Amino acid sequence: MRILINDGMHPKGVQLLKDAGHDVDTNFIPQEELTSKLNSYDAVLVRSATKIRKELIDQSPNLKLIGRGGVGLDNIDVSYAKEKGIAVFNTPAASTRSVAELAIAHLFGIVRSLPMVNKKMAVDGINDFKSLKKTASKGIELEGKTLGLIGFGRIAKETASIALGCGMKIIAFDPYISEGDVPIKLHPSYDNNYKINVKTTTREEVLAESDFISLHIPGGQGYVLDAPEFEQMKDGVGIVNCARGGTISENALIEAINSEKVKYVATDVFENEPPTDDRLLRMDNVGLSPHIGASTQEAQERVGVQLAKSVIDYFS
């Protein structure tokens, strides 16, 4: 089969496909050129950059498989592809640990003013070290704080596992999970039978009772956190988003920061990528990263290998 890998893949995954006898093309084709070129391939493998929409699918009747390296499928018209008999695969578990670790890393950073410190050290670190130290010496610990999770899938559970090790209390809301105690495994290095319960509750309780709120939800559903939701939160709450851009209203978030309703913020994703509004980027108390949640060496290898194996199995 002729396979286009349009957004890159770990070399191990590429080699697996070649060893299985597939003709693999790793040359990037710009989105605007795919309409005229994608029909030359039997399969296309993408990440988040390339969009496979209805119009492109209609222009590619030879296409048999679409693969997405990652969790979300919001850049692919999945239902329409399946209606056309096109298989769709992703790698939902491959980047779980990497995204969870970034969410926790951001939590540690924002409670110790690391975003502000990193920005100002290069400018004021030599001439105003004592003043900067004083400003940055008002951090708090995560131990004993309540972390509310909106969405309680694989990544949220992994985030909860790490946060529990930091001494945090966890509550979670997920519309697809009944309220009650949900057992989760701690890190695989522990006995696999060792589990701890996490309370799943209402959305309203998560908003009202959490010291920090972390999003773990797919995109495409509009704002999950907007002005009304911020009003329900504690004063001085912290917000972390390593899920999808467009799930938080950036305008409402900025207003909540300015009113001091929200004290701590970290985001790996933005409403527009690259961002077109620099207000969040310029705030000292906001932790920033450029959509790198799944971008560790280990996760990239797992993504490539798992996706390649799914393709090989399908065409076998």
Catalytically active residues are 244, 273, 291
Q: Which two tokens stand for residue 38?
A: 């994608």
Nearest to 151 by CA among 180, 169, 177: 177
Helix extents (H) in 84-217: 96-111, 114-124, 129-136, 154-165, 203-209
| Burial bucket for residue 64 (CB in 10 Å: 0-12, 13-18, 19+) | middle
Give the DSSP letter of residue 232.
Answer: H
Q: Retrieve residue 35's tokens.
A: 């309409």
Q: How far apart are CA 274 and CA 203, in angstroms?
A: 30
d(CA 170, CA 174): 13
Longest CA–CA span in the chain (Å) reads: 66
Half-sphere exposure of 165 (CA within 13 A, CB side): 14
Alpha carbon of 288 to those of 141, 243, 250, 293: distances in Å? 20, 13, 13, 11
Please compute, for residue 191, the number of CA atoms within 13 A of its CA located in the half-sphere on the CB side: 4
What span, in angstroms and rounded, lies between the C-alpha atoms of 117 and 269? 21
